[in-house]
Amino acid sequence: MTKELLSKRGIAFEALDIENDPGALEQLRALGLSTVPVVAVGDRYVAGWNPPKVAELVGFQLVERVTPPRELIDSLKMLLEAQLRVVRQVPDEHLTMKSPDRDRPLRQLAHHCFRVIEVGVDADVLGEFPALQWLPNSDIPSHTSSERIARYGRRSRPRC
């Protein structure tokens, strides 16, 4: 999303891959950070998805539309149902497959997609977003079947 935000405004940037480039990971750590996305200009940076702060850092005007809560909830429900349909179609033997450009098995990606909804809704209820604690940075070996991942994902339904 951060790349899209910058690209749509014609802002040139260098994307670094911390999963596959040790030098990129060291640059991130040199800033005292351990999570992405990060937009850095010199020694100033914005960590996480924060369009207003990114706009301020790189110097563009950001006009945001405030989305009504009902529209957001409806979008989350639609996304959740689509994710549930997709994950059920993945053969169990493919859950450990990895994309050529990411060192993350499919089961971890599926878990992440459901976790984003779960944590986002919880953050709204609690009034805070635990930015550094919310996502395990490791595989989820207990997700041994597509149905098991879908059961995990269904836990988010009542939250929406």
Domain edges within the chain? 2-58, 69-159
Task: Tell me which of 1.10.443.10, 2.60.200.20, 3.40.30.10, 3.30.110.30 is the CATH number of domain 2-58.
Answer: 3.40.30.10
pLDDT at 95: 94
Cα–Cα distance measured from residue 30 to residue 24, given in angstroms and rounded to the nearest whole number: 10
Dig out the tokens for 41 from the structure.
């200009």
Is the backbone of residue 10 left (phi > 0), alpha (psi -120 to 50) or beta? left
* Amino acid 131: pLDDT: 60
User: What's the confidence (pLDDT) of residue 146?
Assistant: 95
pLDDT computed for residue 134 by the predictor: 62
Cβ 107 vs Cβ 139: under 8 Å: yes
Q: How far apart are the first and last CA of the chain?
A: 22
pTM (whole model) above 0.85:
no
Confidence at residue 39, expressed as pLDDT on a 0 to 100 scale = 94
Residues 21, 19: Cα–Cα separation, whole Å: 6
Task: Provide the pLDDT for residue 119.
Answer: 80
The ranges of the chain with pLDDT < 50 are: none
SS3 state of residue 61: coil
Residue 123: the pLDDT is 76
- Smallest Cα–Cα separation from 54: which of 71, 79, 35, 37? 37
Cβ atoms of residues 150 and 88 within 8 Å: yes
Q: What is the pLDDT of residue 19?
A: 82
